Structure 1
Amino acid sequence: MTPRFDAIGLVVSDMAAAVAFYRSLGFDFPEGSEREPHAEAPLPGGTRLMLDTEELVKSLHPDWRPPAGGRHSLALRCDDPAEVDRVYEELVGAGHHGELKPWDAFWGQRYAVVQDPDGHGVDLFAPLPPAA
């Protein structure tokens, strides 16, 4: 058997805040997930987004420490460039940190980055229309 990609796991300091953030982006966490130490939302194609509290991780791995600085991000495709702008403004307006304001990237996408409550990067992007 060959290992298969199955899930993305993030460690969070506040499950309720993380679940609320990802629900605002359309992730379908079950009701009550905000009160659990582990939560999962299904993703297209059968993969999952898994959230674990720092307390749960420390109970399994006592020497675990939160990493310093971000090394990864989730990338979410929007329907169009206007949706990138709208979602970014909604998240920043709700108090989340906007890491990179929407801009037209040289590789042909409208692109922006916002941070979730734990500082994980969430990239928002959409293809730009072809130049006339």
Structure 2
Amino acid sequence: MEMQLSMVVLEVRDVTRSVEFYRTLGLAMPDPRTDRPVSILRMSSGVSLVLTEDFASTNDPTWSRPTGGYQQLMEFFAGEDAEVDAMWEKLTAAGYEGRMAPTQTQGPYAAMVDDPDGNVVLLTSDEPARISNKDNA
């Protein structure tokens, strides 16, 4: 069996606040579950985004929340450069921390915004990130 990426799990401080951010980004995040603080969205790519307040802290007694920097980027394909610009404006106007304004990098046209927990969201018009691209299938 081929190994597949199934989900990205983010350990967040406030699942409701994180749901609001990812909805502003354009994802159809469901309301958190009533029986525990988690929201799960299965995207058309087949990968699920999981926002949870207590998975790591409950299941790994050695876990501690990182205190600085970031360890990953989550890239979201926004389409055209103008859509990257528009999403940057929308998120920063909503009060989310902009890390890198839209710019042409050595690779894609991109912008970076922090979610409420400091996870870095990379917005790009990078064609290889398009789900329908046959090279990514």
SS at match of 1:23: helix
Distance 1:27 1:75, change over 3 A: same
- 1:19 match: 19
Distance 1:27 1:34, change over 3 A: farther
SS at match of 2:122: strand
Structure 1 residue 2: deviation in Å? 4.4
- 2:116 match: 117
Q: Distance in 2 between matches of 1:24 and 1:34?
A: 19
- For residues 42-82 of structure 1, the C-alpha deviation after alignment (integer angstroms, 9 at most, x for no partner) is 112211001110x4432222331002321101101112111
Structure 1 residue 114: deviation in Å? 0.4
Distance 1:52 1:127, change over 3 A: closer
- 2:135 match: none
How many residue pairs end up in the alignment?
125
TM-score by structure 1 length?
0.84
- For residues 66-120 of structure 1, the C-alpha deviation after alignment (integer angstroms, 9 at most, x for no partner) is 023211011011121111111001111111000001111233x321100000000
User: What is the identity percentage for the equivalent residue pairs of Structure 1 and Structure 2?
Assistant: 30
Segments of 4+ moved more than 6 angstroms: none
Q: Distance in 1 between matches of 2:60 and 2:16?
A: 22
Q: Distance in 1 between matches of 2:94 and 2:111?
A: 16
Query: Any gaps of 5 or more consecutive residues in structure 1?
Result: none
SS at match of 2:70: coil
- 2:71 match: 71
Structure 1 residue 127: deviation in Å? 4.5
- 1:126 match: 125
- For residues 9-46 of structure 1, the C-alpha deviation after alignment (integer angstroms, 9 at most, x for no partner) is 1110011110010111222222x317642221111221
Q: Distance in 1 between matches of 2:29 and 2:70?
A: 24
Matches within 5 A, 1:76-87: 76-87=76-87
SS at match of 1:111: strand
